[in-house]
Structure 1
Amino acid sequence: MIDLDDTDRALLRALSREGDLSAGELGRRLGLSQPAAWRRVKRLTEAGVLRGLAVETDRAALGFGVTVFLGVKLAAKGRGSFEDFERAVMAIPEVQVVQHVLGLFDYRLRVVARDIPDFERVLRRRIMTLPGVGNVEANVLLSEEARPGPIG
């Protein structure tokens, strides 16, 4: 774990809101020179705190108006069944996130679809036919607030 000072935390908050800020702009916002801001970004990157830039897309603008979280419980448990399921589910383009979790379900999936009939098609033809799928529970996303996460 790396020790963060107030400037590091401010830098992380700024980058979590706008990941493409230049070192010059970061410096201006934080009262640092461009080289000082760049050194801090480099140190945080080398420490593994920053892991590259991500582009956020607007799913609705791309025609995907429905997001569903699926809880999936496998019918059979075993190393092979987990690996077979993971390999198969990651090949489905509508499945955006695959999380292996502890609790009532074995996996939590984030699935996008154009609409509810499209989601039903993905569920019936792709997800329910995957190896080892037992019980599935769906939760349709109504709204979402993005938060940058904990920055000490």
Structure 2
Amino acid sequence: MTAHPNDRTIALDDIDRRILRELARDATQSAGALGRKLDLSQPATWRRIRRLEEAGVIAGRRLRLDREALGFGVTVFLGVKLARKGRVSLEDFERAVSAIPEVQTVEHVLGIYDYRLRVVARDLPDFERVLRRRIMTLPGAGDVEANVLLSEERRPGPIG
């Protein structure tokens, strides 16, 4: 693995790609278990994982919670257009919306809407309460468009 000058990308070989695919599938695997799958020693596997982390290719390992098991059966993607861009700063809106526990992600986007939010709720009436009492009362909140998540398939993403 060598770094390309002036950027954060590194050259990945087939073993690196296999490690990334395996970790994307199950990030809890030990270096020893992963090495056995890839026919590598535990130290060699650990060194490769460490280099991928140091290069920023592996940016962390996240815990994924089952929202339904926690009682949150509805996920809604909200497009939010700010009502008055000049009067409310983007930072003020982002700070306020990020403080709402039901809002899982806040993405500033280019397009019809200024923000895309991922909101979880116990059910549709609970979502309506969150929307009316918390999101629509935010400074600068204007038009919104809601899309209820019906199903989701997680993919690890492209690995060169």
Structure 1 length-normalised TM: 0.98
Residues 72 and 105, structure 1, Cα contact 8 Å, conserved in 2: yes
Deviations 1:40-99 (A, max 9, x none): 000000000111211111000000000000000001114952111000000000000000
SS of the aligned residue for 2:65 comes to coil
Match of residue 71 from structure 2? 63
Match of residue 105 from structure 1? 113
Residues 72 and 133, structure 1, Cα contact 8 Å, conserved in 2: yes
Unaligned runs of 5+ in 1: none
Match of residue 46 from structure 1? 54
Q: What percentage of aligned pairs have identical amino acids?
A: 75
CA distance in 1, matches of 2:86, 2:33: 51
Match of residue 148 from structure 2? 140
SS of the aligned residue for 1:38 comes to helix
SS of the aligned residue for 1:145 comes to coil
Match of residue 73 from structure 1? 81
The runs of 4+ residues in structure 1 deviating greater than 6 Å are none
Residues 88 and 139, structure 2, Cα contact 8 Å, conserved in 1: no
Cα RMSD, aligned residues only: 1.0
Letter in 2 for 1:92: I
